[in-house]
Chain A
Amino acid sequence: MTEPHRTMANDGAAAETAKPGVVKFDRWVGIFFLVVCAGLFYETFFFRTFDWDPVGMAFWPRVLLGVLAVVSVWHIVAGNAGGQPMEAFTRRAFVPFIGGMAYVLLLDPLGFFILTPIAILLYSLWLRPFSGKALLTAACLGIAGTAVIYLIFEFGMNIYLPRGILE
């Protein structure tokens, strides 16, 4: 796979685009999906079967995996079927995902009331240049945002939010 080159997108963000016609990333995606198909097809042999059910619960996934395998082979053979270059990944984009997963892991142990204001504060600060004013507004946003969400869900909808260590 050829190394993608950098271009500046219209919105001002540094975006990487591949040279059209050179990087046939669909082939790599096709190979990836073929491997996934093989793994999942193997898994279907462990599904329970019953004599009274001639079709079985493996039937439908196998049909789908068959279709996916055929299209993947087509992608491997034909390459970049859509003709459009891929868009590059940027490290910054993964920060919200990592932060979100950290929130998921900490929600039960720490609880909504401790975790949410901290998460909002950190995320807000990360999105803008740091300053004393930014810190103050982010802290206020964290407290106000948590209070509004609490009011909507616990008071409005009777949904119990996890208390964590405050329980």
Chain B
Amino acid sequence: MSIDPHIILSALDSVLQPWNLVFLVLGVVGGLLVGIVPGLGPTLAVALLIPVTFTMPPEAGLSLLIAVYVGGMSGGFVTAILIRMPGTPASMATLLDGFPMARKGKAGQAIGNAIVANFAGTIISAVCLVTFAPILAAFALKFHFAEYTAVCIFAMTAVAAVAGSSATRGIVTAVLGMLVACIGLTPVDGLPRFDFGIPSMEGGIGLLPALIGMFAVSQMMKDSAIQTEKMPQPVSEMQGILPGLREIGRNAFNYVRSGLIGTWVGVMPAMGGGPAALIAYAQARNASKHPERFGTGAVEGVIASETANNATIGGGLIIALTLGIPGDPTSAVLLGGLMIHGLQPGPQLFLNNPEVLYGIYFSLFFSSFIMMLVLFLSVRMLVKVIYIPRYYLQPVLIALCIVGVYSLNNRVFDVGVMMCFGLIGYVLERFRYPLPPMVLGIVLGPLVEANFRKMLAAEDSLMPLFTKPIAVTFIVLSVLSLIWASRLRRRMGADVEAGDAS
């Protein structure tokens, strides 16, 4: 397909119209607010705005939807860093290091780096979208059950990175997470399992109630154990919020690697921001000279997670725009928005409506700039959240969590699930069992099972995992990743012993 510069300039002109820029700003701000509130996410925000775009020209309407998408994906890290409450599931890996940073008085630095990471992730994936969309989409079509199973196995190796001090305890919580994901209708048969005759259990355990329960509610339980007057007062350094060029340069490889991981995971349907962030986090830890700092407040962990989860935006758009396949729920709603405007996603979109396509590309770039600007302007205000006395903050937050989780399906059952997972998270942490592998298990469990069972049903053998080139590549990568993580663990153990001896 030849590129007509007139069409590109026309699309740029359309995106730069004053009203369109206003829509972009409003969309990004609205998306950020929605991303911050637990339970609400970009999918809901995009869905709610589709009727608003009915009367708009397609370019303006789609710009607004893209802006909300970018804002919604970016907002989740704020509460994850400040109060250990992931606004969206995509931010779950961010809290592993972001929250310890905030507790050490580095909330500003964590948020500043997360903002740059969000921007970098969106831009890297947008560049991939503009440059390699058809190639990546064709590559994604080569993924069948065996390839998906191998990718999921590779993603599960992240357990080694987030397991903490004991690998076996990490395995226990990862398996518990996968067992939790077994509750409810099976992904293959559509029949209930482990529902124990309770009708509400047939719907399964939602990821967000479990996530908010395990991290936010358990943290509130932990903090409640401390008398108010004995609660340590956080001291947040406001200097160094904007990471310097030297710091960005030092993490350049982390940005690029995590951005590419996020884009690649985004291209694959049904994976999404959560697994992307965890895979990028694990790879950042494996590549770090100081892996022992991960989980205790390493800025590289925040960068990896946030770059990767925002990079899934471009990845998701690649498969959605080129093939008309929605990679995640937000892309599905966005495709609905396209079709409502009379546009058919897929190869025909490139031929018949290139101006709309370029408009989407430009909207993605401008939205990420606006997102960075808005967040940097508001970061000083956001950081002040940690200074609010907890007898004001906690009651409102728990009410917000409850209503947010209730709003997912209008079910009180989900709120009960959140509270129970709060208790489970609290108990497991008391016993020093790490929670992140459990989240990984809940996210990846259904994907592994569905693809593994479909592969066995189709091929009647495990051999495709070792004979198909893409699958065997990921199996080899999984083995290498585990060997590397094991070496790191031994090295870290030796360092600790050496430190103890000295």
Q: List A residues at the B interface (Cβ < 8 Å).
A: 11-13, 25-26, 29, 33, 40, 43, 47-48, 50, 53-55, 57, 59-61, 64-65, 67-68, 71-72, 74-75, 81-90, 92-97, 100-101, 103-104, 107-108, 112, 116, 119-121, 123-125, 127-129, 134, 137-138, 141-142, 145-146, 148-149, 152-153, 157-162
Q: Total A-B residue pairs with C-beta atoms closer than 8 Å?
A: 195
Q: How far is the CB of A1 from chain B (nearest CB, A)?
A: 13
Q: Evaluate contact between A97 and B452: CB separation under 8 angstroms.
A: no
Q: How far is the CB of B75 from chain A (nearest CB, A)?
A: 13
> Is B407 at the interface (CB under 8 A from chain A)?
yes
Q: Evaluate contact between B457 and A55: CB separation under 8 angstroms.
A: yes
Partner of A152, one of B37, B172, B179, B193: B37
Q: Evaluate contact between B225 and A86: CB separation under 8 angstroms.
A: no
> Is B402 at the interface (CB under 8 A from chain A)?
yes
A97–B34 CA distance with the chains assembled, in angstroms: 26
A103–B449 CA distance with the chains assembled, in angstroms: 35
A107-B226 CB under 8 A given contacts A12-B232, A81-B169: no
Q: Evaluate contact between A96 and B221: CB separation under 8 angstroms.
A: yes
A58–B426 CA distance with the chains assembled, in angstroms: 30
Partner of B456, one of A50, A55, A82, A137: A55
Q: Majority SS of interface residues in chain B? A: helix
Q: Evaluate contact between B171 and A67: CB separation under 8 angstroms.
A: yes
Q: Evaluate contact between B224 and A149: CB separation under 8 angstroms.
A: no
Nearest opposing residue in chain B for A86, CB measure: B431
Partner of B403, one of A86, A108, A137, A161: A161
Can you list 6 A-B pairs with a CB-CB distance of less than 8 A?
A13-B227, A60-B453, A89-B430, A97-B426, A119-B399, A142-B395
Q: Evaluate contact between B460 and A54: CB separation under 8 angstroms.
A: yes
With a cutoff of 8 Å between Cβ atoms, the chain B residues found around residue A95 in the complex are 224
Interface hub of A96, A119, A159, A160 (most chain B Cβ within 10 A): A96
A87–B226 CA distance with the chains assembled, in angstroms: 14
Q: Evaluate contact between B453 and A40: CB separation under 8 angstroms.
A: no
Nearest opposing residue in chain A for B182, CB measure: A61
Q: Which of B5-13, B140-148, B255-263, B415-423 contacts A (4 or more CB under 8 A)?
A: B415-423
Q: Evaluate contact between A57 and B228: CB separation under 8 angstroms.
A: no
Q: Evaluate contact between B415 and A104: CB separation under 8 angstroms.
A: yes
Partner of B217, one of A74, A97, A138: A97
> Is B48 at the interface (CB under 8 A from chain A)?
yes
